[in-house]
Structure 1
Amino acid sequence: MNATAERTLTAQDFRLYSHACGDLNPLHLPELDGDGDGETEAICPAAYLASLVSALIGTKLPGPGSRETGWSLRLGKPVRMGETVKVQLVVEEKDARSVTLKARVEGPSGPALEARVTVVPPVKAQTFGSAEISDLLTRKHEKFQRLIAACAGLDPVATAIVCPHTPDSLTGPLEAFDKGLIKPILVGERARIEAAAKKARRDISGCEIVEAEGEEAAAKAACALVREGKAGSVMKGHLHTEAFLKAILSKETGLRGSRRVSHVFVLDVPSEERLLFITDAAVNIAPGLMAKRDIVQNAIDLARALGVKQPKAAVLAAVETVNPAMAATIDAAALAKMAERGQIEGGLVDGPFAMDNAVDVTAAKIKDLSGEVAGHADILVGPNIEAANVMAKELSFVGRAESAGVVIGTSVPVILTSRADSAFARIVSCAVAALHRHWQQTGEPVGALADRS
């Protein structure tokens, strides 16, 4: 008796294996150079090859319910990510209680693993399928990685970092600097900035420091750097959001543009193939109709800057039908008509939608909703700040999304991050700001994103 199987080794296989067992040896990880020679190795772990043998034992020979009681193995030629291996099992011996199997994993260059495995078969033959196993959702943020990669051809944006007084608020900008996304100008109290750098074990000798005492003074100084042409974006560090936005929104000394200023969360949700944009979750508390018009237009412009050729904006409410007793549904219908009449440009706008039928095609079909936005929304426009903020935080902390946050409608992009954000989120926020800055200057997305749209 014998059994065979084939498997092509993928980057995701190696990532799942490494996280499941804690083997973070960079030789096995597709993104890393394990031996310092300047190239990634992505060598398949020996234990993963053994697991392919175990999988064939547990599914084919002897099959579900088999229990392995002994192994002896010998390793051969290494195999790497992208290569296909063939797994073979042959019954060598058997008695009343156990079976000895000869196993072989063959790679492109010859045997990668040879083994003998002693197995106790199940008392009774069983069947078992993948439908009986819980789905596995892995966190992968390839969409954000593409945004970072798209900035490769851009010059770093001089960015005023306001109050980088803690290791967390300093590390994110410095990592964005390492990736060539920004050129940080550190605005705040020198002693606290230097203490944060020492604690984070980062060298800031190459960074300009603009001294300012207190949160309000630092935020005003950052805005002044923009007005003087010394900075092309501003980033919130460790200070209260109210103090930061007060300076940004000042009519006399702030960064207001021709439209209402608004905030957009950009989310990379593992279960979605597209980026999601949620607005406005941070600036406008209870916007009226004309303010919502600007909020939608800002989000469409940002989506286009990130390579979405024709963004689809769903204006959300609790229900997907117009109800005069629910003001959000009236605003949604009016915004859809305004877009139809050219008062909102560059994208498709429809509403009202409930959250489910805005993003899920099946839910939209069940409710008999038609149109290009139904079930396919890129942009989710909340009826107020509470709804949009809860929606974004729920996707981040329950749906395991990674998020970036920017304020737009300003003369330059404003990076608004939370103290709970990861360093990666801060890096992506810098990439989003750089891409939006390019859009402001050229009216086009960068070439790498335009080619994908």
Structure 2
Amino acid sequence: MEYIENRTFEELQVGDSAEITRTLRHDDIELFAVMSGDVNPAHVDPEYAASDMFHRVIAHGMWGGALISAVLGTELPGPGTIYLDQSLQFRRPVGLGDTVTVRVTVAEKYPDTRRLKLACECLNQEGKQVIVGEALVIAPSEKVRRPRVTLPEVHLHERGARHRELVKLAAPYEPIRVAVVQPVNAASLHDALDAKEEGLIEPVLVGPEAKIRRAAEEIDRSLDGVTLEAVPHSHAAAARAVELARTGKVDALMKGAIAMDELMDAVLAPEALATERRASHVHVLDVPTYPKPLLITDAALLAYPTLADKRDIVRNAVDLAKSLGIEAPKVAILSASEVVDPRIRSTMEAAALCKMAERGQIAGAVVDGPLAFDSAISRKAAAANGVAGLVAGDADVLVVPDLEAGTLLVKELVHLAGADSAGIILGARVPAIIPGRSDGALPSLASAALAKLYLHRGDHGTALASGDPSREDAA
């Protein structure tokens, strides 16, 4: 066990010193900014910092001051020290990657009060002073030796960073025309208008006009310049939106204040928008503890999919992943374990899906399964479970056994792991945007960005363009 021990006033002599060494990391700057609230762009905005006087991101000045405090509180004099005064002069900036040695030296002792004056300096890796100063403390009179406390692990995550990347990725492309079905409450109308302001969609609001205008008044938003298709109720709104899509007047649908079943009944009605492929839903999650977007399917639409359904579920997710720039998506078919067990249907179907991928019935992806959830998303867990392969521990897409398992998984990630979820339905003639319902507007914007990227960048039949940020209006 590691201990922390002080040096009492009587033990210390003029000239005694102690030091620690630290290398400045990006996480240090972010942690200090979070703790202090100091978001000066010189420290946290690389673009601004590049144009500032130092031409790089630098540490907060008091990061070095905090390191001096750490020496005083843990090394010399150590536990029991009472801080009275500190002067600091900042001589040079500390940049990312710089290594700083922090040294304190006893300069004077005052026996009547047990006070110490200590010279403080911070030196960079070149031996040049970056901070100098003096500290005045009351030194401890009693010996203290305690086990060193193990600090908690800190995982930094910029909320919504990956969803912002989706919105940014979609920015160069022309807005898609979207029929927003029944936007009669504040949340659904906000979603549509925010996506329009972001340049993601050109909305056509389909629903009862009086209710839509009342919702606009409630949220204090203008409908000037926004197309409105007035219909009497939600059933008619779904039918009219489908007709707009079927006749090519809109490129996609967007769910408003309407039940999923009601919307999908209209989409999949005879001679509506159904295709030879089964429609399915894909969640795109920004999970703080996962290093990339995580696609989960189907956790919203198909309750108990058949093997044929799962083939289409995988194909839909692979199409979406490719439109997001994932060239060869790694698809994990989830089940209770990695063993193919005739008693567990999902393991048998996972094995069949892998064979389909091997034979070209599912193209453009690396498919593996059955895989337990931990083996799919953790290399360490996969190794412990004896699972190898390209997908294990690095999945882009998780295919769940059924809707119950998928819904539980998504909600656990959202409410326990702090994930944000965007969503989209694919497999019909046009995609349907299912706005996210995590905190803030970003998941809904990301949902719209998914449809925009899918239509402009996908290599499927409904793509508007092939890698070209512009297209001619098809209306």
Contact 2:357 2:363 in 1 (8 A): yes
Secondary structure in 2 matching 1:435: helix
Post-superposition shift, 1:5? 4.1
1:3 is aligned to 2:58: no
Which runs of 5 or more structure 1 residues have no equivalent in the other structure? 448-453
Percent identity, aligned pairs only?
Answer: 35
State which of 118, 121, 125 in structure 2 corresponds to 1:101: 118
1:158 is aligned to 2:177: yes
Post-superposition shift, 1:74? 5.9
Secondary structure in 1 matching 2:332: strand
State which of 376, 380, 384 in structure 2 corresponds to 1:366: 384
TM-superposition CA deviations, 1:280-327 (whole Å, max 9, x none): 011111011111111111111111111111112111111221221211
**Cα–Cα, structure 1 residues 287 and 443, in superposed 2: closer, same or farther, change >3 Å?**
farther
Secondary structure in 2 matching 1:266: strand
State which of 444, 468, 474 in structure 2 corresponds to 1:426: 444
In 1, Cα distance between equivalents of 2:156 and 2:468: 29
TM-superposition CA deviations, 1:338-360 (whole Å, max 9, x none): 11111111112221111112222
Structure 2 equivalent of residue 275 of structure 1: 293
Instruction: Write the mapping of 1:23-38 to structure 2, written as runs, cut at 5 A.
Output: 30=45
Which runs of 5 or more structure 2 residues have no equivalent in the other structure? 1-16, 470-475
- Deviates most, 372-381 or 334-343: 372-381
Q: Which amino acid aligns with 2:274?
A: R
Secondary structure in 2 matching 1:158: strand
Contact 1:30 1:81 in 2 (8 A): no
1:258 is aligned to 2:264: no
- Deviates most, 118-127 or 400-409: 118-127
In 1, Cα distance between equivalents of 2:228 and 2:64: 52
Contact 1:85 1:105 in 2 (8 A): no
State which of 332, 347, 354 in structure 2 corresponds to 1:314: 332
Secondary structure in 2 matching 1:153: coil
State which of 155, 160, 164 in structure 2 corresponds to 1:137: 155
1:412 is aligned to 2:427: no
TM-superposition CA deviations, 1:104-142 (whole Å, max 9, x none): 56899996785635364583355737xx22212233243
State which of 353, 374, 379 in structure 2 corresponds to 1:335: 353
In 1, Cα distance between equivalents of 2:217 and 2:419: 31
In 2, Cα distance between equivalents of 1:241 and 1:417: 12
Secondary structure in 2 matching 1:315: strand
Structure 1 equivalent of residue 200 of structure 2: 181
Structure 1 equivalent of residue 69 of structure 2: 54
Structure 2 equivalent of residue 450 of structure 1: none
Structure 2 equivalent of residue 116 of structure 1: 135
Post-superposition shift, 1:46? 5.9
In 1, Cα distance between equivalents of 2:341 and 2:177: 48
TM-superposition CA deviations, 1:195-228 (whole Å, max 9, x none): 3333334333232222233222222222222233
- Number of corresponding residues: 438
Contact 1:267 1:404 in 2 (8 A): yes
- Deviates most, 192-201 or 242-251: 192-201
1:199 is aligned to 2:184: no
In 1, Cα distance between equivalents of 2:191 and 2:47: 20
State which of 238, 245, 249 in structure 2 corresponds to 1:219: 238
Secondary structure in 1 matching 2:108: strand
**Cα–Cα, structure 1 residues 419 and 79, in superposed 2: closer, same or farther, change >3 Å?**
same
Post-superposition shift, 1:154? 0.9
Structure 2 equivalent of residue 244 of structure 1: 263
**Cα–Cα, structure 1 residues 338 and 169, in superposed 2: closer, same or farther, change >3 Å?**
same
- Deviates most, 106-115 or 402-411: 106-115
Q: Which amino acid aligns with 1:152?
A: A
Secondary structure in 1 matching 2:171: helix
